[in-house]
């Protein structure tokens, strides 16, 4: 670890020619994720030039503009497709994707399962706030059953996605869940996701108090963080609980860890074989 701590590290990575303040609401979890991402990149001593941060559209998508990496703010739901092109074009780059839950699971759901299936060397961070934040609080594929949103004024009737199960089933190399309340744990998970080969998926529970909390019995950001604190359970402990005890609990930790090389690596191996044959 370095001699810098906290803000000192962050300041080295923010864009000073970008006009602040940022667009996030006070109490939003997304800024904490950006901090975690920066600390992870820093602890891995990755040169800024080697990092490409690709973001979708949503409050989460806006994060890319503030950090001094190569940053690409793409279209809603398609960040992973751009990232695939970038990684395949230049496998030396560390490609990290930041997406919202609406972004990654709804409009971008197809791209997510195929990026995982392909197991391409990308780190995908899904910032799950259970709602469409930027567009004013419509329900997302992770809005819990019964929860209120602008488009489920009588309570969400559909079942929500479990990001972790989805990623694991689709074939991601590494699947983990963290929260913005458990920062040290989050830093460790994000660091691991960035350094590993293949497709690494991290669901990050990052509350949106403005659009979700306010209308769903969490009157303040603090209430939301209290909810996370109360229900978050390390995976090992969660696995020991009975079916009944698990209700409402949020298991955290690493769910899948495989070591399949990324698509770009396997593709490189094929190329070498073919070009050998041509010689």
Residue numbers at the binding site for ligand SF4 (CB under 6 A)? 24-25, 28, 30, 59, 129, 133-134, 208-211
First-to-last alpha carbon distance for the chain, in angstroms, is 47
- Mention every residue, 6+ apart, whose C-beta is less than 8 A from residue 172: 116, 119, 198, 199, 200, 201, 256
Q: Is 80 in the site for ligand TPP (CB under 6 A)?
A: no
* Least Å from the CB of residue 207 to ligand SF4: 8
Choose among 70, 80, 79, 73: nearest CA to 41. Answer: 70
* Least Å from the CB of residue 205 to ligand TPP: 12
* Least Å from the CB of residue 36 to ligand TPP: 16
Neighbour count for residue 245 (Cβ, 10 Å): 11
| Interacting residue ranges for other proteins, rule: CB under 8 A | 15, 17-19, 48-50, 52, 54, 64-65, 68-75, 78, 81-90, 92-93, 110-111, 114, 267, 270-271, 274-275, 277-278
Choose among 91, 4, 65: nearest CA to 39. Answer: 4
9/225 with CB nearer ligand TPP: 225
120/232 with CB nearer other proteins: 120
Choose among 199, 214, 198, 206: nearest CA to 265. Answer: 198
Choose among 252, 236, 90, 276: nearest CA to 183. Answer: 252
Tokens 């990684």 locate to 87
* Interaction partner, residue 78 (ligand TPP, other proteins, ligand SF4, none; CB < 5-8 Å by kind): other proteins
CA–CA separation, 136 and 212 (whole Å): 9
Tell me the window of 4-12, 52-60, 89-97, 262-270 that interacts with ligand TPP (CB under 6 A): 52-60
* Interaction partner, residue 148 (ligand TPP, other proteins, ligand SF4, none; CB < 5-8 Å by kind): none
The footprint of ligand TPP on this chain (CB under 6 A) covers a number of residues equal to 18
The H or E element containing residue 79 is helix 79-89
* Interaction partner, residue 188 (ligand SF4, other proteins, ligand TPP, none; CB < 5-8 Å by kind): none
**Site for ligand TPP, rule CB under 6 A:** 57-60, 76, 100-103, 127, 129, 131-135, 140, 208
């Amino acid at each position: 670890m370095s001699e810098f701590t906290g803000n000192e590290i962050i300041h080295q990575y923010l864009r000073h020619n970008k006009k602040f303040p940022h667009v996030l609401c006070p109490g939003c979890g997304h800024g904490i994720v950006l901090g975690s991402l920066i600390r992870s990149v820093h602890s891995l001593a990755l040169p800024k030039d080697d990092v490409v941060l690709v973001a979708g559209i949503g409050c989460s998508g806006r994060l890319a503009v503030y950090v001094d990496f190569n940053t690409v703010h793409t279209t809603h739901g398609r960040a992973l497709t751009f990232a695939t092109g970038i990684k395949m074009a230049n496998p030396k780059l560390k490609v990290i994707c930041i997406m919202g839950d609406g972004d990654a699971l709804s409009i971008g759901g197809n791209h997510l399962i195929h990026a995982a299936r392909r197991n391409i060397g990308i780190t995908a961070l899904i910032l799950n706030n259970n709602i469409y934040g930027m567009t004013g609080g419509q329900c997302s594929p992770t809005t819990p059953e019964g929860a209120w949103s602008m488009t489920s004024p009588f309570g969400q009737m559909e079942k929500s996605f479990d990001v972790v199960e989805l990623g694991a089933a689709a074939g991601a190399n590494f699947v983990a869940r963290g929260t913005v309340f458990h920062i040290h744990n989050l830093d460790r998970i994000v660091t691991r996701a960035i350094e590993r080969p293949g497709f690494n998926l991290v669901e990050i529970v990052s509350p949106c108090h403005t659009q979700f909390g306010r209308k769903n019995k969490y009157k303040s950001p603090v209430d939301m963080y209290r909810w996370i604190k109360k229900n978050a359970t390390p995976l090992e402990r969660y696995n020991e609980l009975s079916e009944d005890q698990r209700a409402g609990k949020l298991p955290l930790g690493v769910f899948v860890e495989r070591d399949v090389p990324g698509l770009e690596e396997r593709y490189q191996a094929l190329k070498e074989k073919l070009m050998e044959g041509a010689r």
